[in-house]
A and B are shown apart, each in its own frame.
Chain A
Amino acid sequence: GAVVSQHPSWVICKSGTSVKIECRSLDFQATTMFWYRQFPKQSLMLMATSNEGSKATYEQGVEKDKFLINHASLTLSTLTVTSAHPEDSSFYICSSQTGGNTGELFFGEGSRLTVL
């Protein structure tokens, strides 16, 4: 199956710093990348949908200035959590689809962010 590589897997940072998470599609062109956040014992919550070469579409309640998304190429999308605070601590996951019609989503490995 298609592979989405996400980095870093774990990150611990101080409050007020910014953290960048990268997702790369290794064997297909990811025109669209979905970014999710998952708090403990809760389901995935879609934060935003990024499209290569254009601005991301953010879900209601997600601050675009706090969660900066860049999708400059067909194989790389990044999420930057700016001025992170403890309440931003969460599991962040990206996913994408291949160009086929299966509809299947391929997920990155996830990034666990802990803000002290």
Chain B
Amino acid sequence: RKEVEQDPGPFNVPEGATVAFNCTYSNSASQSFFWYRQDCRKEPKLLMSVYSSGNEDGRFTAQLNRASQYISLLIRDSKLSDSATYLCVVNKAGNQFYFGTGTSLTVIP
């Protein structure tokens, strides 16, 4: 079983839509969780860290469910500029990072 499982999509949504991505992880000892955004032919950039209590940054909301071992990202009021690949990243301990395959999002005018 993969350490991190993520629906690759693609998700094609109209502008203004709300879209949610989920990611599951296999190791209950995982410590830190992140959502990264990667634009085509660019390096990943941190979008949000994910905390147990859930956290929100503008139109973006991230949640962590340790009992079910999944993290989620909700994007409200999608903009064209949100089109990208969204990677979930799980840090098990120290130097051990695991990446999801990435979910491709295209926001359509």
User: Could you list which residues of chain A lie within 8 angstroms of chain B, going by C-beta atoms?
Assistant: 1, 6, 32, 34, 42-44, 46, 49, 91, 93, 97, 102-105, 107-110, 112
Q: How many A-B residue pairs have CB under 8 A?
A: 47
Q: Which residues of B contact A (CB under 8 A)?
A: 31-32, 34, 36, 41-46, 49, 87, 89, 91, 95, 97, 99-102
What secondary structure prevails in chain B residues at the interface with A? strand
Task: Find out whether the CB atom of A105 lies under 8 angstroms from the CB atom of B45.
Answer: no
**CB–CB B42/A110 < 8 A:** yes
A93 CA to B49 CA in the complex, in Å? 21
Residue of chain B at shortest CB distance from A103? B32
Provide 11 A-B residue pairs closer than 8 Å at the C-beta atoms, listed in order of the A residue: A43-B87, A43-B99, A44-B87, A44-B99, A46-B99, A91-B41, A102-B49, A103-B31, A105-B44, A107-B45, A108-B43
Contact pick for B91, options A1, A103, A112, CB 8 Å: A103
Q: How far is the CA of A104 from the CA of B36 in the complex (A)?
A: 10
Nearest 9 interchain pairs by C-beta: A103-B32, A107-B43, A43-B101, A103-B91, A110-B43, A44-B99, A43-B102, A43-B99, A109-B43
A103 CB to nearest chain B CB (Å): 3
Give CA–CA (A32, B95) in the complex, Å.
8
* CB-based contact A105/B97 at 8 Å: yes
The closest CB in chain A to the CB of B43 belongs to A107
Which residues of the partner chain A approach B97 to less than 8 Å between Cβ atoms? 34, 46, 105
